[in-house]
Structure 1
Amino acid sequence: MTLKMHLSSLFENPNCLLNRRNRYQFLVTLLVNIVTFCHGLGVGWMSPVMRDLLTDQSPLDFPVLVDDISWIGSLVGIGSMLGNILAGTLMNRIGRKLVMFGVAFPYMMFWCMIYFVQRVEFLYVGRLLAGMTGGASYVVLPTFLSEIADDNIRGRLGSMILLTVNTGVLTGYIVSSNFNYFSTPPFIIILPLCYIMGNFLFPETPHHLIRKGKFAEAEKSFRFYKNINRDDIKAESEFEDLKIRLIKAEKEKENSFNYRDFITKPAFKAYTSAIVLVIGNQFSASFSVSSYLSTIFAASHTTLNLTMCTIIIGSVQIVGTYVTTLLCDKYGRRLLMLVSSLGSSVCLAAFGCFTYFAQDYDLSAVGWLPLVILACYICIVNIGLVGCVFVLLLELFPAKIRPICVSTFTVILSGMVFLALKIFPICVAEWGISVTMSCCSFSTILCFFYFYFFLEETKGKSLLEG
């Protein structure tokens, strides 16, 4: 009886994701994040494969060079930019749902290119298409989730995007390390098909339907996501309030929107914070480490099995993003960013120091240390610099300029992904892993000082606020 009462009180808590009001929002979040899981799976799968393509164990019957690997690794960033632009252009015109249907198709083409590969250009095109799925998802999913979620759980639902990506990355590491190159694509392609079918189970967001003047459909959608019946008078007044505020916001945007909105003090402050956020996200080496993890371990002088290290890091990555979902709405975004940027900088510096001394001294007695350092780094970087990035990008900007600015900075982030992935293996080849990681540590500590002095808390901020 006590357990029953405890569970009942837990589910009645408005902050519980399985609370009656929140549970459909949570379940739909899990459904739509199948596609981000798929994207992460492709990223994780490619990491050991790219290392193998340069060895005698290559599963392909044509040679692949180091320069080819840098293009295979980085073209996902160009594809992400294309996906950002397409999703940002289309989702306000044709709706979030149709764009969400579309993001699965480039990903299925990616696995077709992997399976039917005949020369290295097939891998180029495949990674470009995989990037398009990831880039489009990073635009449309945060918008979709922010419009169906209540303010008190928006941070947790938004941060699940990175949690499922990292779960996919770990799965990709495991699959790539244990299964044949050509046996994987026919089975993985089932996942995006499940995602497409799942999209038929829930409606368009009430925000988009209100903006299109479809008020009856919008109210039905609102009641679905809030899990409330037609007899709930309070819910009806809540929907009417949302409708009035959205219509008012749209009219104000039409009547008063001009270029001056982009040159206000709050706007410039948001630009600066977004730029630092993007730099911290990519030049902390977060995505580069995930993409080239097997190569990094090979250069780290570790005495441990490389496959085991890769899988352990993938597991820790999930822990970091899961911690974000637990803490994001409880302690706020700013604290997580401070802990993440400072901790990441320390870990990167420690990794750089270890690999530097390991070149001249026998450190085999502590050959496990690179794994410990990278595990700490991956956990800490995912708590804030990775896990909060899309939540913060949505919340930083004034309402009038938010759609354009979020789309623009998401494209910039994708460009940074391409740049970071392209130059990382070149920097490692030219400078060595020690100097490369130390440079990443320096850029990350600079971001910490900005967050400490200038970043404002956005926890609980309504997206209709100016």
Structure 2
Amino acid sequence: MTALRAAIKPGRDRAVLVARCGGSAAHLAPRCGALVNQCRAELRPSAIGSAVKNAPRKRPRVALGTEPRRAAALRAFSYLDESPSAAAVHRLLFPRAHGPPNMAGKAADAKLLPQCAAAFVVNLATLANGYCLGWPAVELPVLESNGTALRPSPLESPLSKDEASWVAAAMILASSFTPPLYSAVSARWGRKLAGYLSAAPFALGGVLLVQGRTLGWLVAGRLLAGVGSGGVLALAPHYVAEVAQERHRGALGTVFAIQLNMGILLAYLVGAVATYRSVCALCIALPTAFVAAWTALPETPQYLLSRGRDVDALRSLRWLRGSGYDVEGELERLKKSAASSSRDEDTGRAQEKPSLADFFLDRASRRAFITVLVLIANLQLCGNFIVMNYAVELFSEAGSSLAASALTSQLVDRAGRRPLLLASNAAVAGCLAALGGYFYAKRLGLDVSPVWWLPVASLSLFVAACNLGIAALVFVILNEMFAPDMAHIAISIGIPTFLLAAFAVLKAYVYMLAWLDIYGSYWLFAACTLASNVYIFFFLPETKGRPIADIVAELNGGAKKSARHEMYDPVAQSEKA
């Protein structure tokens, strides 16, 4: 109590505290009531009267004066972290941050709609990314020809096959190197700024595509789109993982895959009916729409807490959970989790910002990154990118992948990550084996006309199964398995590894066809997929509905928790009380 009183500077700070709490002292815990009475005894009546007169006319954050004074008051309240009286004082000083009181005496559950809105808005950038990924499939044929009367070519001369391949590959190459930059910006200056910076290259690249008339302009536009793509891959899944509750984190994380496939499908639809310049104009319109909606979203509570902005973190959590929800318990848990990850377990002293060497020396981070590498290999060595090259002209398969991603959002928080991955990988391996058998029989000269439908059916089932499992979950799991101070390092090296692996497999496929033939290549992909299932079954920790601190503790060698993990639930907590 003495330390708490000493932390609040004499004068107006104590006067405002009395003014805010004096009329409601009966509703405070005894310790806070005693503090108010002691502060009142030390103040002159004129100071109390002035504070009472002026405080109600001002907004809660202005009532405590300048930022240093507000910070002093918050430091004072931190002495009561273990007592519910701290929340009571903060509620009285900052009522707008807490919303209306619950008259039933029981905390309301968090609203799902604000969390869904946040996931949808941040993945508008993913929609733009998918649109740019689907752009070459519909526009390269126009650029390689002289065009038609309805869709004239914008170039001075048609592109060759080699030139067209550079236009298609430029985006993937650029996106391989930019995630570390965006991850550093996100960690240092916030997720909001990283979002704005990821949208700008998309729009600038669209301008170059609309105005470009030579190969150089087109490649430059695609390179800029790749810069933005790297930012989206680093930002969108991480933002959703931080703003969603544990129980909804998996389902909301799959919105990334849904809107990525929606963007690809949108490119196919617009490319089928619109002119070249109209298709390119959407490369500008989509990121612009994202920026307009992005301004309405709050910064993540985790970033705000890392910067010591507790009140702003409280407001952010209030926006994300809805009115009537008691955010204090969840905020305290986030603060303790951040504090434990930033302090040395042996000495209790604050740690410095972890380096790349610290990342690999940390047992939990090292084991989590090995798991991520296996999942990346699973996605690339199942032939996802290669099979999609065969399926790009089949319009129905884009629809099946979108439906599968939407189904994943319903299953991931019900069945769990591990069962969904195991089942979808088994289906993928079966489709690949069937494709390999078809091509092997055809190579032997057997009559395959009775099963003419097998390749199309297998490809369609493959795309659906892949998007139901590994393609939708790899980024969800990447953002669930690392401590907050290690997450930006994991993203910085994980996403470039994913993109470079995709590029390497696409290039190696030409040599695989020469060595193994097409049927051997598909059988090899099936074998790699089944081998990934062995690792997933024995070593992948189930992350469904679990706090990240709990997952990290297990990776550090702690005891495995039961399938029913404990989560912060204000409704249940109030019922227990």
Q: Would you call these one fold, judging by a TM-score over 0.5?
A: yes
Whether the 8 Å CA contact 1:156–1:324 is kept in 2: the answer is yes
Which of the residues 438, 459, 462 maps onto 2:544?
A: 459
Return 176-185 or 210-219, whichever deviates more: 176-185
Corresponding residue number in structure 1 for 2:248 = 153
Give, as a single letter, the amino acid of the residue that structure 2 aligns with 1:401: M
Give, as a single letter, the amino acid of the residue that structure 1 aligns with 2:537: Y
| Corresponding residue SS for 1:62 | coil
Q: How far apart are 1:378 and its partner, in Å?
A: 0.3
1:277 aligns with 2:369: no
2:166, 2:434 → 1: CA distance? 29
1:242 aligns with 2:242: no
Corresponding residue number in structure 2 for 1:227 = 322
Which of the residues 139, 142, 148 maps onto 2:234?
A: 139
Return 333-342 or 343-352, whichever deviates more: 343-352
What percentage of residue pairs aligned between the two structures are identical?
A: 27
Corresponding residue number in structure 1 for 2:361 = 263
2:248, 2:528 → 1: CA distance? 32
Give, as a single letter, the amino acid of the residue that structure 2 aligns with 1:245: S
2:157, 2:432 → 1: CA distance? 36
Q: What's the TM-score, normalizing by structure 1? A: 0.83
1:286 aligns with 2:384: yes
1:175, 1:201 → 2: CA distance? 28
CA distance 1:56–1:444, shift in 2 (3 Å): farther
CA distance 1:47–1:435, shift in 2 (3 Å): farther
CA distance 1:114–1:45, shift in 2 (3 Å): same
Corresponding residue number in structure 2 for 1:92 = 187
Corresponding residue number in structure 1 for 2:300 = 205
1:151, 1:415 → 2: CA distance? 31
1:216 aligns with 2:311: yes
CA distance 1:248–1:267, shift in 2 (3 Å): closer
1:317 aligns with 2:412: no
CA distance 1:444–1:379, shift in 2 (3 Å): same
CA distance 1:268–1:214, shift in 2 (3 Å): closer
1:155, 1:64 → 2: CA distance? 43
Give, as a single letter, the amino acid of the residue that structure 2 aligns with 1:324: T
| Corresponding residue SS for 2:458 | helix
Which of the residues 420, 424, 429 maps onto 1:345?
A: 429
Corresponding residue number in structure 1 for 2:481 = 396
CA-to-partner distance for each residue in 1:437-457, whole Å, 9 max, x for gaps? 343333222222222232221
CA distance 1:113–1:426, shift in 2 (3 Å): farther
Corresponding residue number in structure 1 for 2:465 = 380
Q: How far apart are 1:48 and its partner, in Å?
A: 3.6
Whether the 8 Å CA contact 2:341–2:483 is kept in 1: the answer is no
Corresponding residue number in structure 2 for 1:43 = 133
CA distance 1:108–1:261, shift in 2 (3 Å): closer
Q: How far apart are 1:187 and its partner, in Å?
A: 4.1
CA distance 1:51–1:348, shift in 2 (3 Å): farther
Q: How far apart are 1:269 and its partner, in Å?
A: 2.9
Structure 1 runs not aligned, ≥5 long:
1-18, 295-305
1:339, 1:167 → 2: CA distance? 24
Q: How far apart are 1:350 and its partner, in Å?
A: 1.9
Q: How far apart are 1:101 and its partner, in Å?
A: 1.2
CA distance 1:187–1:73, shift in 2 (3 Å): closer
CA-to-partner distance for each residue in 1:380-401, whole Å, 9 max, x for gaps? 0111110100111122345553
Whether the 8 Å CA contact 1:49–1:176 is kept in 2: the answer is yes
1:71, 1:425 → 2: CA distance? 17
Whether the 8 Å CA contact 1:320–1:379 is kept in 2: the answer is yes
Structure 2 runs not aligned, ≥5 long:
1-108, 553-577
Which of the residues 70, 92, 115 maps onto 2:210?
A: 115
Q: Equivalences for 1:16-31 in 2 at 5 Å?
A: 21-31=111-121
Return 335-344 or 71-80, whichever deviates more: 71-80
- For the pair shown, the structure with the greater C-alpha radius of gyration is 2
Give, as a single letter, the amino acid of the residue that structure 1 aligns with 2:461: C
Return 30-39 or 171-180, whichever deviates more: 171-180
Give, as a single letter, the amino acid of the residue that structure 2 aligns with 1:391: V
CA distance 1:406–1:223, shift in 2 (3 Å): same
| Corresponding residue SS for 2:111 | coil
1:72, 1:435 → 2: CA distance? 30
1:280, 1:94 → 2: CA distance? 34
Whether the 8 Å CA contact 1:166–1:318 is kept in 2: the answer is yes
2:167, 2:423 → 1: CA distance? 33
Q: How far apart are 1:120 and its partner, in Å?
A: 2.6
Corresponding residue number in structure 2 for 1:8 = none
2:387, 2:235 → 1: CA distance? 25
Higher helix fraction (1 or 2): 1
1:263, 1:313 → 2: CA distance? 43
Corresponding residue number in structure 1 for 2:534 = 449
1:372, 1:186 → 2: CA distance? 35
CA-to-partner distance for each residue in 1:407-459, whole Å, 9 max, x for gaps? 21122112223323444467568976544434333322222222223222121
Which of the residues 411, 416, 420 maps onto 2:501?
A: 416
Whether the 8 Å CA contact 1:32–1:195 is kept in 2: the answer is yes
Which of the residues 407, 412, 415 maps onto 1:331?
A: 415
Return 82-91 or 178-187, whichever deviates more: 178-187
Whether the 8 Å CA contact 1:44–1:290 is kept in 2: the answer is no
Give, as a single letter, the amino acid of the residue that structure 2 aligns with 1:246: A
Q: How far apart are 1:79 and its partner, in Å?
A: 1.7
Q: What's the TM-score, normalizing by structure 2? A: 0.68
Q: How far apart are 1:51 and its partner, in Å?
A: 5.0
1:106 aligns with 2:201: yes
Return 374-383 or 331-340, whichever deviates more: 331-340
Whether the 8 Å CA contact 2:384–2:466 is kept in 1: the answer is yes
Please give the root-mean-square deviation of Cα atoms over the aligned residues, in Å. Answer: 2.8
CA-to-partner distance for each residue in 1:194-232, whole Å, 9 max, x for gaps? 111101112111111111111221111111111125xx6
Q: Equivalences for 1:418-433 in 2 at 5 Å?
A: 418-424=503-509, 433=518
Whether the 8 Å CA contact 1:46–1:176 is kept in 2: the answer is no
Whether the 8 Å CA contact 2:146–2:157 is kept in 1: the answer is no
CA distance 1:65–1:351, shift in 2 (3 Å): farther
Q: How far apart are 1:336 and its partner, in Å?
A: 1.4
Return 25-34 or 168-177, whichever deviates more: 168-177
| Corresponding residue SS for 1:189 | helix
Give, as a single letter, the amino acid of the residue that structure 2 aligns with 1:352: G
Corresponding residue number in structure 1 for 2:59 = none
Give, as a single letter, the amino acid of the residue that structure 1 aligns with 2:477: L
Return 145-154 or 38-47, whichever deviates more: 38-47
Give, as a single letter, the amino acid of the residue that structure 1 aligns with 2:139: V
CA-to-partner distance for each residue in 1:41-61, whole Å, 9 max, x for gaps? 121232243455556759344
2:528, 2:408 → 1: CA distance? 22
2:180, 2:299 → 1: CA distance? 21
